[in-house]
A and B are shown apart, each in its own frame.
Chain A
C-alpha cells in the first residue's frame, strides 16, 4: 500500500529568546495507508513537535514532508490550514469542543471551512458512526468526558481525512471511557481502513497499535511492529484495570 506519510530527515528548531532548541533532529518516518501507528516518548522527547509537524500545525526547519502524495514542507499558513481541513482529523487530550455549542455544530466545523454541502447530514452521520446520534443537540457540559471525546472523533472523521492524529486521546478519561474511545478507533481502523496515528506516553495504549515509533531527544530510537506478547500484556493490563474498577 502507498505511504500516506513520508517524512524525510525532518529538523525543527525553535528559538526561545536567544536559545535555540532543537526539537527534532533528523526524523524520518513512513506511515502506510490504513495503518495504526503509535508514536511514543517521554515529555520533552519531541513527540509533540512531531505531532504538530505531522498535523500541519507547524512547518519544518529543514527536511521534507509528503502527506497523501503532496509535498507540504514549504507551505504558508493558509495552505497548511487547507491541508489540515482536507487531510487531517485531530483528536486532542482535552477534547477541544467549542464551548456552549451543540455537538452537531462542533462536528460541522471542518465542513464549514471546507465550504461543503449537506453539512448537517454529514455531521449527523459522523455522530452516528461514534454512537452519539441522539446526543447531537447536547452541549459539551451536558456530555460525559467519553461522549465529548467521541464527538471530537466524529469531528475528526467528518471531512474524510487521510489520517486521524490522536494526541493522548484517553489521557483525560477514566479507563472505561478510555476503552470505549479506543474501541471506536479500532473499529474505524478495521471497518473503514482509516489511518490512525496515536501519540502517547502510555505503553498500554501504544501496544494497541500495529507499530510503535519511539522518540527520544528529537530522534527516532526504535521503529518496530507490536509483538503478540506486548498486545497480550496490554490487554491483560486493561482487563485487570477493569476488574479493579468493578471491585471498587
Chain B
C-alpha cells in the first residue's frame, strides 16, 4: 500500500466523523493560531517601536544634565543646569570630537499658546537649524528655523502638525500670529506629522533657541553660558557610537572641570533600540510558549481521539488484516490519520492566526499603528510542530492498532 492510499483512507475516515475530527482539530487550530498571531503581533509591535525610535533621527546620542549634590542632597537626573549653548558649540568642533556629525541643543518649556480664539498647552522647544536634520523633522509647508532667526532672537515659530490643526483648524497658519505666554510669534512653517510616538513632536511648537532663552524660559546662566535642557548629537558612523560618547565626555569633563562624578549623562539611541528589542523578544517568547502549551494540549486531544478511534474500529482493522493488510499498513493508516488531523488543524490555525494578525493590524495604539508581521519562520515552525505533535501522539494508538490480532479484531463486538 502506498502513501497516497494511506492519505486517501485517512481523509475518508475523517470525513465519516466530521464533527469529531473538527473538534479534535480545534485544539491544534487554536494552538497554532495563537503562536502565529502572537509572534506576528510581537514582531509588529517591535517594528512599530523601532520605527518610532528611528523616526527621531539616526545615530543619535542624547546628552542630558546629571543630578547635582548640594549639602549631601542629590537631585533628580536632568535637573542640574549644567549644559550650555557653549557646550553644544564646543561639541560641534570636529577637531576635538571627530566622530560627531551634527549637534542640536534644545531647551524645553511648557507654555500656553493662543491663536485667535483657540488655545493649547504644549511643549515649546527652543532649537537651532541643525535640529531639523538631527532629529529628522522636515517641514510640511513654510520653512524651518534659520540661523538668522537664532542670531537675532526672532519671534518666529514652527508648529507641529497637531498643534497647527488645533490652533488653526485647517486654515493655513503660515504668517499668522500666535501668542506664547502673551509674546507674539509669527508662524513660518508647519512640521510633517510623525504620528505621535515617544517624544510627541506633533504636539510641539519650535522657536529659535535664543528666543526661548530670552523670552520664554528666562535667561539662566551656568559658568557664564546659556543653559539648555539637552543636546542632541548625531554621530557619523553607527559603529562609532561608543567612541563618540568618549569624545563627548572628554570635552564636557574638561569644560565642566569634573574630577569625580559627571554632571551629565549620555544616552545612546542604539541602546534604547536594543533594550526595546530585547524586552519585546522576551515577551513574544513568553507568550508563544504559553500558546505552545495549548498546542501540546491539542496533541493530547488527538491521541485521545485516535485511541477511541482504534477501539471503535477494531473490527475494521480485523477486516483489513484478513484482506492482507500488514501490521505496518495499519500503523501507517492510523499514523497518517493523526498527522492529517494535526497538519490540517495546523493549516487552518495558520489561516486563523494570519486573520487575527490582520484584524489587529491598523488598530491605533497611543499614536502607533501596529502591523502584525507573520513571519515565514513561525509558519514553518507551526507546520513542523503540528506534524510532530500528530506523529508523536499518533504513534501509540497506531501501534496498538497494528499489533491487534486479526482473529480477536474480527471477533470484537
Interfacial residues, chain A to chain B (CB-CB below 8 A):
52, 55, 57-58, 77-78, 81-82, 84-86, 90, 92, 96-101, 109-110, 112-115, 155, 159
Q: Which residues of A contact B322 (CB under 8 A)?
A: 55, 57, 84, 90, 96
* Given known A-B contacts A99-B316, A109-B319, A115-B2, A78 and B327 have beta carbons under 8 A apart: yes
Listed A/B pairs (26) with beta-carbon separation below 8 Å: A52-B407, A55-B322, A57-B410, A58-B407, A78-B327, A78-B328, A81-B324, A81-B326, A82-B326, A84-B321, A84-B322, A84-B323, A84-B324, A85-B324, A90-B322, A92-B410, A96-B410, A100-B16, A101-B12, A109-B319, A109-B320, A109-B323, A113-B320, A113-B323, A113-B325, A155-B323
How many A-B pairs have beta carbons closer than 8 Å: the answer is 60
Given A92-B410, A115-B1, are A77 and B327 neighbors across the interface (CB < 8 Å)? yes
- Would you list which residues of chain B between 364 and 413 have a CB under 8 Å from chain A? 406-407, 410
Closest approach, in angstroms, between the C-beta of A119 and any C-beta of chain B? 10
Please, how many angstroms separate the alpha-carbon atoms of A92 and B319 in the complex? 10
> 15 new A-B pairs (CB below 8 Å) besides A78-B328, A81-B326, A112-B5?
A57-B322, A58-B407, A77-B326, A78-B326, A81-B324, A81-B327, A82-B326, A84-B323, A96-B319, A98-B316, A100-B16, A101-B12, A112-B1, A113-B1, A113-B329
Residue B315 interfacial (CB < 8 Å): yes
Chain A residues within an 8 Å CB radius of B326:
77-78, 81-82, 113
Residues of chain A within 8 A (CB-CB) of B315 are 96
The chain B residues found within 8 Å of chain A, CB to CB, are 1-2, 5, 12, 16, 315-316, 318-329, 406-407, 410
| Distance, CA A85 to CA B319, complexed state (A) | 11
A79 (CB) vs chain B CBs: closest residue: B326
Give the distance to chain B from A75, nearest Cβ to Cβ, in Å.
Answer: 13
A125 to B23, CA, bound (A): 40
Choose one: B12, B324, B407; the contact of A113 (CB below 8 Å).
Answer: B324
Contact partners of B323 in chain A: CB under 8 A: 84-85, 90, 109-110, 113, 155
Closest to B320 in A: A109
CA distance A133 to B406 in the complex (A): 30
Output the nearest chain A residue to B321 by Cβ-Cβ distance: A81
User: Which single member of A52, A101, A114 contacts B324 (CB below 8 Å)?
Assistant: A114
The interface centre, meaning the residue of B1, B2, B325 with most chain A CB atoms within 10 A of its CB, is B325
Bound form: Cα–Cα A148–B323 in Å: 16
Q: Which of A98, A99, A155 has the most CB of B within 10 A?
A: A98
Q: Please, which residues of chain B bring their CB within 8 A of the CB of A109?
A: 319-320, 323
A40–B97 alpha-carbon span in the complex (Å): 109
Whole-angstrom distance from the CB of B19 to the nearest CB of chain A? Answer: 14
Q: Which of B5, B319, B324, B327 counts the most chain A CB atoms within 10 A?
A: B324
Which residue on chain A has the smallest CB distance to residue B402? A77
Closest residue on chain A to residue B319 by CB atoms = A96
Q: Separation in Å of the A98 CB from the closest CB of chain B?
A: 6
Closest to A115 in B: B1
Interface-centre pick from B318, B322, B410 (highest chain A CB count, 10 A): B322
Bound-state Cα–Cα, A73 to B159, Å: 98
